[in-house]
Amino acid sequence: MEQLSAMLRQPWPWYVAGPLIGLTVPLLLIIGNKTFGISSSLRHVCAACMPARIPFFNYNWKQEKWNLVFALGILLGGFIAMEFLRDSTAVTVHPHLVKELAGYGIQDYSSLVPNDLFTWSQLLTPRGLIMMVGGGFLVGFGTRYAGGCTSGHAIMGLSSLQWPSLVATCCFMIGGFIMANLILPVILSL
């Protein structure tokens, strides 16, 4: 039992986690011809909770209850992992990245995310506002503009050979490379 607990506390390698995620696609298709994607869950929540007659939210959201249960399971799984499966050792970061981030004043790796960036006190700094509020807005806008999120396009769309998903996934990757290599260093230097 202790070995199982130790195994669950460690990050799983890509060759285990990737196929498990990939197997959700045929499973959802076999179970009920459902498509995988997370961004639509927010639309369903808004449609269920908003009494206004906004055309985008005016549809029968009850047909998509399974998607809300799936998203709730993701939140519950994250809570269980953080409360009961937390590994107390510091996150291992590659020495080259540690050196680069030290130049931006980021040195605390005692959590899953650098505490020098992701704390309530950091949220109210210009860097924090740009990263959290600006980043959140851009992710939401991009998801709506692309007609889905990275999980929907890259996992479900590519596996079902959809051309728009290939274009969207390529754009996501290009945007990620530009952000990580050109824009993020500017934001971190604030």
- Compute the Cα dihedral for 128, 130, 136, 137 and give only its sign: positive
pLDDT (0 to 100) of residue 173: 93
Q: Identify the pLDDT of residue 13.
A: 83
Angle between helices 163-178 and 135-146 (to 10 degrees): 160
Q: How far apart are the first and last CA of the chain?
A: 47
Q: What is the pLDDT of residue 15?
A: 92
Extents of the domains making up the chain: 1-86, 119-190
pTM over 0.85: no
Give the pLDDT score at 5: 72
Kindly give, in sequence order, each residue whose CB lies less than 8 Å from that of residue 142, ignoring residues fewer than 6 positions away: 175
- pLDDT (tens place) for every residue of the chain, 190 residues total: 778 777 777 777 889 888 988 888 888 888 888 887 788 888 888 888 877 778 888 888 888 888 888 889 989 998 988 888 777 777 788 999 889 889 888 888 877 788 888 888 888 888 888 888 888 888 888 888 888 888 888 888 888 889 999 999 999 999 999 999 999 899 888 8
What pLDDT does 70 receive? 86
| Cα–Cα distance, 26 to 59 (Å, whole number) | 26
